[in-house]
Chains A and B, each alone.
Chain A
Amino acid sequence: MNTHKPAWKNVLLAHETILLVVLIAEWIFFDAIGRNFGTYDNTCDILRHSCEIGLLALAMTPVILTGGIDLSVGSLLGLCAILFGKFWRDAHMPIPEAAACTLAVGALAGGVNASLITLLNLPPLIVTLGTFSLFRGLAEAITHGVDTFTDFPSSFLFLGQERWLGIPAQAPVFIGALIFFWWLVHFSTFGRSYRAIGFAPEGTRYAGIPVGRRVAMTYVLAGIVSAIAAIIYTARLGQAKADAGNGYELYAITAVVLGGTSIFGGIGSVYGTLLGVAAIAVLQSGIVHALQPSEMAGMLTGALLILALTASVLPKMISRLRQRKSALRLAKQNT
């Protein structure tokens, strides 16, 4: 039945369009009631504060598209942050070298997730729950729970705290990641296979696509991106501690699901995720600028998530009710 709908109606009713309207409404609302909300400075602030979660959400999108999930990204961010500090301070590496080693650690950790999930065919939820605990535990064990890395050179802190050509210095990293994941999910054959795997992994395998390798790649990418986010996080706060990125995995998943990606896989888009991240970030900043308690942002995010989900199943439920009604009517006519 949906196929008979005109194309404009499909676009207009698409999840992403509705989310865009919500985002614009948020912006107008907070600009009207909040002090200094719509200024350029605040826009940069929003961008700066949402960069790490945005990166994690981007990497989470292909993972969830394949029907998987990665709970370990927040813990991995913590582990990478303190290893970065360790490489720099204790192993006396220059910053670029330390960053490269951190990325390697991220890829390796993502590889651990990937090989357990794809080689042994284990459920991603449980594997990443295990590594969630393992990575955070390693971070705590390495720092003995108290060690903090600070006094990074100002040339490094530039990445997190200064502006470059008028935009926050970490924005180019985020934009680069955005373009990469946009290309990966929407313009490459990989993206097609992610959706196919999300819909029917067995069917995809019969179609000749190396399901294991494709799925593994999404987890390795998530690991690498967690490492990048860890470096930016360290640069923004100027310190690395074992509790870095605590709870970030849930924010990232929230943003992805809010952006219209189905948690069962198969459906979703990178621009949806981008809108989801933006909607949460604008809400958080707006609440603060409207001088409301910051906890309200969290509550509204949760409510928004449930509303978005309900909105996505309502058309299906209504059409099912209609079908049942017409079937009943037919049955009545026949008797």
Chain B
Amino acid sequence: MRKYFRELSVTGALTLLLLALAIFAPSFYSPQPLLSLAANASVSLVVACGMALVIIAREIDISVGSMFAVCSVCAGLLAAMHWPLAAVIAATILIGAIFGGFNGGLVAGLGLPSIVVTLATMVTWREGLQWLRQGQFVNLPDGVQWFGLSQKSGQWTLVIGALVILVLMALMMKHLSAGRYIYAVGSDAEVARLAGIPPKLTVFLVFVGIGALVGLAAIMNMVQSPQVDPQSGTGMELKVIAAVVVGGVAISGGRGNLWGVFVGLLLLVCVGPALIHLHIEAYWEKAIQGVIILLAVVAEGLRR
């Protein structure tokens, strides 16, 4: 019970918010907008799962937003070339994994600090994309939006897909040695090495993993609209890191789990729509999200 204090307190906050909405603004619970919200959030959830692994391994990746934009545009271009959808998905995940591997190679191979490496790649990919595409939107052919299904079943596919990934990854972190390696490396890389765990390989693969997940998230975002926005994913890195931190993952590595990340993300994404339904100006969204992040760390600090 004490061990999961953080996860439980975030769940408590989320429950309070949902209860308040049920009493003061029951219109929040109308099914169609709620499903759209969930479909949008599932994109962030997939990236947040990857980010949680990176932060548990005591690294950070602030290039996810730029990778997301690059993957989105690549996926859009491939789809526009009438590749079959399955091939587009596989290729985009591969592209994401390669970009992630580039970060991972610099961080694990050369031992460079991940915050600076990913800061550099964030700027480089974003500007490179802008240079090559000049901000052009990519028009998608028919049959790509919602995977060719109806809007409702497409949204359900996204939500269920994201939840499946969450469950699989949470099980991996708990029960597979790969997951335990990540915790070990994040707690103390040197001790992990002495225990026979390859810390460099682990860190490299964690970066490859978040790259692949970003690729998948780009697909999940692409199918929600008829066009691909080359600016998509701007500011995504901080939003996702915020969800991970609110969910109880320690920025110093080695602590946290994916259920907490899931609840933390839900809390942050519910703030915006909740404001609208409670008739508060939507411009407060960022400020309130900031306060939630600060409250989460302050609670953690006081408990220590």
Contacts and interface: CB of A to CB of B under 8 A. Distances in A.
A31 B289 CA distance: 47
A293 B127 CA distance: 10
A44 B113 CA distance: 35
A302 to B, nearest CB: 3
Contacts of B119: 250, 253-254, 257, 305
Interface in A288-335: 293, 295-299, 301-303, 305-306, 309-310, 313, 317
A203 B106 CA distance: 31
Contacts of B87: none
A133 interface: yes
B286 A140 contact: yes
A295 B131 contact: yes
B124 A298 contact: yes
Given A123-B251, A306-B117, A137 B124 contact: no
A126 interface: yes
Contact of B281 (A71, A144, A257, A295): A144
Interface in B256-294: 281, 283-291, 293-294
- Main SS class of interface, A: helix
Contacts of B291: 130, 134
Contacts of B288: 137
Interface string B215-256: 000000000000000000000001001100100000110000
Q: Is the interface of B mostly helix, strand, loop or mixed?
A: helix
A302 B127 contact: yes
B195 interface: no
A137 B284 contact: yes
Interface in A259-300: 263-264, 293, 295-299
Interface in B87-135: 106, 110-113, 115-117, 119-124, 126-128, 130-131
A101 interface: no
Most chain B CB within a 10 A radius of its CB, from A127, A264, A298, A310: A298
B21 interface: no
Contact of B116 (A116, A137, A263): A263
A129 to B, nearest CB: 6
Contacts of A298: 123-124, 126-127, 130
A56 B287 CA distance: 22
A153 B112 CA distance: 48
Contact of B283 (A140, A263, A301): A140
A126 B115 contact: no
Interface string A110-138: 00000010001111011101111111111
A297 B127 CA distance: 8
Given A129-B293, A299-B124, A122 B241 contact: no
B130 to A, nearest CB: 5
B124 A302 contact: yes
A295 B120 contact: no
B265 to A, nearest CB: 15
The winner among B111, B242, B297 for most chain A CB atoms within 10 A is: B297
Contact of B289 (A133, A293, A295, A302): A133
Q: How large is the interface on A (under 10, 10 to 19, 20 to 34, 35 or more residues)?
A: 35 or more
A210 interface: no
A137 B290 contact: yes
Given A129-B245, A302-B124, A302-B127, A122 B286 contact: no
B291 to A, nearest CB: 6
B301 A130 contact: no
B19 interface: no
Contacts of B128: 295, 299
B3 interface: no
A296 B134 CA distance: 12
A144 B294 contact: no
Contacts of A250: 119, 122-123
Contacts of A172: none
A313 B112 CA distance: 8
A141 interface: yes
B131 A299 contact: yes
Contacts of B289: 133, 137
Contacts of A144: 281, 283
Given A121-B301, A129-B241, A144-B281, A305 B287 contact: no
B242 A138 contact: no
B194 interface: no
A71 B241 CA distance: 13
B272 to A, nearest CB: 11
Interface of B: 60, 106, 110-113, 115-117, 119-124, 126-128, 130-131, 238, 241-242, 245, 251-252, 281, 283-291, 293-294, 297-298, 300-302, 304
Given A125-B251, A299-B127, 13 more contacts: A71-B238, A130-B294, A130-B297, A133-B242, A133-B287, A136-B286, A137-B289, A140-B287, A253-B119, A264-B113, A296-B131, A305-B123, A310-B112
13 contacts: A122-B298, A133-B290, A136-B290, A137-B288, A143-B283, A264-B113, A295-B131, A297-B127, A302-B120, A305-B116, A305-B119, A309-B112, A309-B120
